[in-house]
Amino acid sequence: MKIVILSRNPNLYSTRRLVEAGKKRNHEMIIVDHTKCDIIIEKKKPAIRYKEELLTGIDAVIPRIGASVTFFGTAVVRQFEMMKVFTAVESQALMRSRDKLRSLQVLSRAGLGLPKTVFTNYSKNVDDVIDSVGGAPVVIKLLEGTQGLGVVLAETRTAATSVLEAFNGLQARVIAQEFIKEAKGADIRVFVVDGVVIGAMKRQGKEGEFRSNLHRGGSAEIIELSVDEENAALKAARVMGLGVAGVDLLQSERGPLILEVNSSPGLEGIESATGRDIAGKIIHYIERHAE
């Protein structure tokens, strides 16, 4: 098959591993920088031009779209869909996953456990917001944040009030979220491909850091999921419409709580922690579904 990886950086670990896994199974792997594509819209003749040539004969696409270019990247994925090309992550699911507020609403409607969350339209009554999530400490997140950026733990009511008022003054869209103390600065990343859990790791924040992202110096180790945790991760990926997903959840006294469902989860941490060929599993998924 001829498989395109939409990636802005061919040197990224995830991109390199997908190329390696595809070539190992005798597929032609092409890296395309989606930000440099031209989308050609014409009646019944959708096309994509890249480096002055039309992309033709493509069997499947693996989107690795960064959060900062979601709008255009999703448009490129949508164009491939119009060209009847199978995509490992559908455009609608990609857009849904990047909208944190919409994601939480979808997950809530599905009956999944979530940390209590409040979103307001720059409300001046921040005391009510803080009380609604159980008081301080409060986790405050930018809706556009990624990899732990734009996430603040306000440990006191005074700090929470100051942070919320500052973000409101900047007209930055944020959510306030319940702090799950018993998680102890750790979360679980579950990698789901085609409705199957293929790897899970527990990520622990470094000393003095409540964010567990590996990009922020956290550590990771393989973990065996409970039945409830596995079911929650599978359901979260399914209701978000994602064939490939990284589901982040917290262990709490009331069961697993979904934090986020990532449509372009990195491979380095999960492959290092589990020792499993996750990239190969994604290629197998494409082989099963691409015509």
- pLDDT digit string, tens, across residues 217-274: 567 789 999 999 999 999 999 999 999 999 999 999 999 999 999 999 999 999 998 9
Average pLDDT, the chain: 90
Distance CA 11, CA 139 (A): 34
The pLDDT, as a whole number, for residue 124 is 80
**Could you give the percent of the chain with pLDDT greater than 70?**
93
Domains annotated for the chain, with CATH where assigned, are 2-89 (3.40.50.20), 97-113+182-263 (3.30.470.20), 117-179 (3.30.1490.20)
Q: Is the per-residue pLDDT at 77 higher than 80?
A: yes
The pLDDT, as a whole number, for residue 100 is 87
Give 188's pLDDT tier (boundaries 50, 70, 90): very high
Least confident of 152-156, 166-170, 207-211, 268-272: 207-211
Give 58's pLDDT tier (boundaries 50, 70, 90): very high
Which pairing describes strands 219-222 and 196-204: parallel, antiparallel, or unpaired? antiparallel
Please classify residue 181 by burial: count the beta carbons closer than 10 Å to its beta carbon, then call 0-12 exposed, 13-18 middle and 19+ buried: exposed
The pLDDT, as a whole number, for residue 184 is 82
Q: Is the per-residue pLDDT at 168 higher than 90?
A: no
The pLDDT, as a whole number, for residue 149 is 65
The pLDDT, as a whole number, for residue 121 is 80
Give 209's pLDDT tier (boundaries 50, 70, 90): low
Q: Is the per-residue pLDDT at 213 higher than 80?
A: no
Tens-digit pLDDT profile for residues 118-152? 998 877 888 888 989 988 899 998 876 555 567 88
Q: Is the per-residue pLDDT at 198 higher than 70?
A: yes
Which residue in this structure is represented by tokens 């159980």?
134
The pLDDT, as a whole number, for residue 152 is 87
Q: Is the per-residue pLDDT at 111 higher than 90?
A: yes
Average pLDDT over residues 18-47: 95
Between 147 and 67, residue with greater pLDDT: 67
Asked whether the beta carbons of 174 and 140 are under 8 A apart, the reply is: yes
The pLDDT, as a whole number, for residue 146 is 56
The pLDDT, as a whole number, for residue 215 is 52
